[in-house]
Amino acid sequence: MRNLMKFNRFVMPLLLIIFSALLHGCTLNENVSYKSAYADNNLSVKNENINGAIVKVNDKYIYHDEIFLQQFGKVGVSYSDIVENSIDEIVATSYAEKLGVFVSESEIDNAICEYEAINKEVYDKALKIYGETTLKQKLKDRLLFVSTKNKVLEQEVKIDANLIESFKSQKELHGELDKYSDSELMKRMNKEIKDYAFGLWVKEKRKESKIEYLKLYDKYKKDCLVFNDNQMSMPKIDAKEVALDGDEGKEILASLSIFEKYNPVSVYEILVKPNNKDDYTERAYIKVHLVNEDNNDKILDVIIADKNETGIDYGLKDSKMSTLCGVNVKLSKSENLNVDDKIITRAVFKLNKHTYVMDGINIEPFEFTEMVSELLSKLTNK
């Protein structure tokens, strides 16, 4: 029972997040600002790319794939904020041994066994994504961070009147909270004040760490993901679809052979009628059809329009904007777009005087977003 209580307190939320967003990470940025991170002491920018690494903290690396997973689970949170949180976690846990904090293999094994029994479906998905070794290491790191944070709050941080005054000033809560005594405030905002105190401790420890932002970080640092739910309409256009043969078609097909297990099978030009004419002679856009080699129900269509607009109403006028690879992108998903039992995902962006529309059918939003990022990387040569 004691192990189960520990599991429910720390591990249960963690593995849910590991499946959907790798790790929850510490949430310090709401309490401590890192807007001038590049200007801080002991920080440097390194002009190199180490197998997808974006930041090096002492002797540990943070990788883009891990941050992307976290970002996908924290819609609306910026890429750079998640990076800073991950740095904080590494910095904090580097003091675990000094503070006498350890996580045993039996604790990890017990937690995994209990989680598998409680939610086997999510556990199986997490295991498939990461493998047993990586999953155990991620869980160990997270448990170590939680235990380190608790130890710091017990032994290293003094929560007194000065700290509470600093908390109110930083959060701009003077006046609103002045009616409460410090003891009353600790009861009402215990977690917020402790998070703030721990954030200040981590900020000081960052100064003693060597933090290097690698070249690849610049590519993604401004990214932010926001999915618009059920904000799509099916395109309606009076047009004629014609196979695009010849060198142009071959070149387009070759350029989109970048998605793992998705084969471009056809390319068409969509022709419309020019004003006051009866024939379909004017190109509206090019459409490329890709199919997953393992599952024919997973389909990706890529539309490329020479003009700024495709001439199609995609129902995205009031949608929120994401940023991927530094490019503004409208991302949407729907599970009931007049198509039974199908997931519809869509990305719309403008680049190099072209409009691109990517439509995914039965492609999970995470996989789809990875594919959007891959195409943007190719188009922007990053």
Name the domain boundary from 220, 241, 263: 220
CATH of the domain at 257: 3.40.1000
Band of the pLDDT at 35, cuts 50, 70, 90? very low
Query: Which residue, 220, 254, 274, sits at the end of a domain?
Result: 220
- pLDDT tier at 202 (50, 70, 90 boundaries)? very high
Whether residue 340 has pLDDT greater than 60:
no
Q: Which residue stretches of the chain are H helix?
A: 2-6, 12-21, 64-72, 79-93, 105-118, 120-155, 161-170, 182-188, 190-206, 217-220, 246-255, 365-380
Query: Which pLDDT band, with edges at 50, 70 and 90, does 336 fall under?
Result: low
pLDDT reported for residue 159: 93
Q: Are residues 133 and 19 in the same domain?
A: yes
Q: Is pLDDT at 249 greater than 80 in this prediction? A: yes
Query: 144 and 12 share a domain?
Result: yes
Are 250 and 341 found together in one domain?
yes
Alpha-carbon distance of 8 to 16, in angstroms, equals: 12
What token pair was written down for 131?
Answer: 């493998």
Asked whether residue 40 carries a pLDDT value surpassing 50, the answer given is no
Is the per-residue pLDDT at 337 higher than 90? Answer: no
235 and 147 both lie in a single domain: no
- pLDDT higher than 80, residue 8: no
Exposed / middle / buried, residue 125 (Cβ in 10 Å: 0-12, 13-18, 19+): middle
**In terms of residue numbers, what domain contains 266?**
227-380
Write down the pLDDT at residue 235: 60
Confidence of residue 228 (pLDDT cuts 50, 70, 90): confident
Would you say residue 37 has pLDDT above 50?
Answer: no
Percent of the chain at pLDDT exceeding 70: 78
pLDDT digits (tens, 9 = 90+) for 144-167: 999 999 999 999 999 999 999 898
Averaged pLDDT, 111-118: 80
Average pLDDT over residues 40-69: 72
Which of residues 272 and 98 earns the better pLDDT score?
98
Asked if 15 and 38 sit in the same domain, the reply is: yes
pLDDT band for position 229 (50/70/90)?
confident
List pLDDT tens digits, range 259-318. Answer: 888 988 899 998 988 887 788 888 889 999 999 999 999 999 999 987 655 455 555 566
Q: How many of the other CB atoms lie within 10 Å of CB of 248?
A: 12
* Predicted pLDDT at 145: 92
Domain count, the chain: 2
183-191 contacts, C-beta under 8 A, 24 or more apart: 186/159
One-letter identity of residue 331: L
- Calculate ∠ Cα 17-21-23, nearest 5°: 65
For residue 59, with 0-12 CB atoms within 10 Å meaning exposed, 13-18 middle and 19 or more buried, which class applies? exposed
Q: Select from 220, 235, 266 the last residue of a domain.
A: 220
> Are residues 214 and 73 located together in one domain of the fold?
yes
Does residue 311 share a domain with residue 279? yes
* Residue 193 and residue 159 in contact, taking contact as beta carbons nearer than 8 Å: yes
Token duo for residue 168: 């109110």
Residue 308: DSSP 8-state: S
Residues 71 and 179 both lie in one domain = yes
CATH of the domain at 189: 1.10.4030.10
Give the range with max mean pLDDT: 47-51, 101-105, 123-127: 101-105
**232 or 200, which is more confident?**
200
